[in-house]
């Protein structure tokens, strides 16, 4: 699909109206945006790994992972890595607009003697000036599956070359691979539909985290309620759900419907709705705040 045919997240009338009132935005709104952007840019002493998970397919997990990777790469001065460990031929490379040649298992030999980023860079696919992508496999049916051992031996040491690593996990949280990813994560972003059933799924997911001996991750988790359709009825009491999650230490953010996000093509930050861009920065900031907390 040519770029000019991709839908913009905001209709034209809304874009024109926003420009007309931009000068009248409340000072507290501007201060909040500046604070979030500053938190996204905060320096880290060691690379932070942020796992993006979902309890089921269609939750918007890969789209959210791509969105966060783009936000961090845009705002930060260091390198950002997006790793796709979805065993079902994940869509993260597609959403970031890259065609890859190498997979996570391929970097093991290079890592063994790597002293600098330049030693492992040939195994990564650049998506922008500061963003690189590495999938679980080469995108072919029949490829060897990614094992917890390959992830632990490759992805974890690889992340030391990056300020932030975004890990797009497979759906569900019961598999050995997902548990290994979570065990090595500094923060978790949980994508779930903005519906009552989605809220219940988020609760089950956090219960699973606690039951897996990873209860410390609940306070490092951000639940993102994704609105998947403009026709979705507003049946979710978001404020109530956010309050319940806050009681156990988790954060909550609602990501509203965006026509460009829903197009399932390569993400173009310039075509995202204004609300999507500001919400994405808020999610990234909240995840990194939790990833660096002691």
Average pLDDT over residues 273-283: 93
Range of the domain at 218: 54-292
Residue 116: inside a domain, yes or no?
A: yes
Each residue of 82-102: pLDDT tens digit?
999 987 666 899 899 998 788
CATH number at residue 119: 3.40.50.300
Q: Give the angle subtended at the CA of 92 by the CAs of 91 and 96, to the nearest 5°.
A: 120
b/e for 172-187, b at 16 or more Cβ within 10 A? ebeeebbbbbbebbbb
Question: Distance from CA of residue 225 to its chain's centroid?
Answer: 13
Which pLDDT belongs to residue 203?
92
In a domain, 12, yes or no: no
Q: Give how many domains the chain has, as a whole number.
A: 1
> 181-237, pLDDT tens digit by residue?
999 999 999 999 999 999 999 999 999 888 889 999 999 999 999 998 887 666 789
Q: Establish if 14 belongs to a structural domain.
A: no
Q: Cα–Cα distance between 197 and 201 in angstroms, integer?
A: 6
Does a structural domain hold residue 140? yes
Tell me, yes or no, whether 49 lies in a domain. no
34 part of a folded domain? no
- Nearest CA to 148 among 175, 173, 121? 175
Task: Output the pLDDT for position 263.
Answer: 83
């Amino acid at each position: 699909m040519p770029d000019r045919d991709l839908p913009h997240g905001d209709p034209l009338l809304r874009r024109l109206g926003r420009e007309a009132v931009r000068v009248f935005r409340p000072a507290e709104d501007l201060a909040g945006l500046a604070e979030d952007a500053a938190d996204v840019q905060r320096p880290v002493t060691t690379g932070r790994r942020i796992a993006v998970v979902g309890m089921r397919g269609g939750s918007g997990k890969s789209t959210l992972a791509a969105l966060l990777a783009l936000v961090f790469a845009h705002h930060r001065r260091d390198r950002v890595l997006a790793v796709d460990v979805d065993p079902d031929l994940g869509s993260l490379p597609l959403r970031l607009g890259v065609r890859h040649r190498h997979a996570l298992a391929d970097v093991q030999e290079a890592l063994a003697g790597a002293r600098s980023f330049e030693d492992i860079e040939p195994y990564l696919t650049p998506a922008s000036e500061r963003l690189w992508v590495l999938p679980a496999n080469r995108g072919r049916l029949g490829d060897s599956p990614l094992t917890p051992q390959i992830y632990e031996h490759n992805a974890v040491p690889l992340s030391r070359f990056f300020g932030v690593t975004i890990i797009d996990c497979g759906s569900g949280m019961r598999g050995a691979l997902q548990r290994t990813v979570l065990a090595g994560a500094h923060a978790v972003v949980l994508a779930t539909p903005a519906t009552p059933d989605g809220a219940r799924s988020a609760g089950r997911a956090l219960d699973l985290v606690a039951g897996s001996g990873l209860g410390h991750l609940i306070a490092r988790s951000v639940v993102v309620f994704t609105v998947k359709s403009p026709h979705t009825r507003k049946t979710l009491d978001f404020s109530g759900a956010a309050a319940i999650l806050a009681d156990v230490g988790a954060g909550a953010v609602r990501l509203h419907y965006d026509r460009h996000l829903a197009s399932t093509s390569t993400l173009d930050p310039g075509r995202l709705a204004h609300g999507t861009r500001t919400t994405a920065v808020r999610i990234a900031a909240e995840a990194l705040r939790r990833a660096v907390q002691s």
